[in-house]
């Protein structure tokens, strides 16, 4: 994602609130693609190609979020093995 595509969603009082906001962004994308993605694999491809990539900026090293990991978890898809060409 280029800098021109980034925007600040807001400031959050705690990590849990920031993570919840990121999850809502991914969930909204999944709802928006609806029937276009007929399988979990197709949904992941669609997301990786067109989906937003919310992230958390925090001084807390334990406060982080991976949109792709969350989406795969929601769809019941296992992560790609280390060293694979998928991101």
Which pLDDT tens digit goes with each residue over 15-74?
A: 999 999 999 999 998 888 877 777 888 888 888 888 888 989 989 999 999 988 898 888
Count of structural domains within the chain: 1
Residue 78 has pLDDT above 80, yes or no: no
* Structural domain contains residue 43: yes
* Structural domain contains residue 27: no
* Structural domain contains residue 47: yes
* Structural domain contains residue 1: no
Q: Which domain holds residue 50?
A: 35-76
* Structural domain contains residue 65: yes
Residue 2 has pLDDT above 80, yes or no: no
- pLDDT, greater one: 62 or 78: 62
Q: Are 14 and 62 in contact (CB under 8 A)?
A: no
Please choose, from the candidates 26, 73, 24, 75, the residue with its C-alpha nearest in 3D space to the C-alpha of residue 51. Answer: 26
Q: What is the pLDDT of residue 76?
A: 79
Q: What is the pLDDT of residue 21?
A: 94
* Structural domain contains residue 52: yes
* Structural domain contains residue 66: yes
């Amino acid at each position: 994602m280029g800098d021109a595509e980034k925007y600040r969603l807001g400031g959050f009082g705690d990590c849990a609130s920031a993570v919840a906001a990121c999850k809502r962004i991914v969930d909204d994308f999944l709802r928006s693609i609806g029937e276009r993605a007929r399988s979990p694999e197709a949904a992941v491809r669609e997301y990786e190609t067109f989906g937003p990539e919310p992230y958390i900026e925090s001084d807390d090293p334990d406060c982080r979020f991976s949109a792709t990991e969350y989406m795969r978890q929601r769809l019941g898809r296992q992560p790609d093995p280390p060293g694979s060409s998928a991101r």
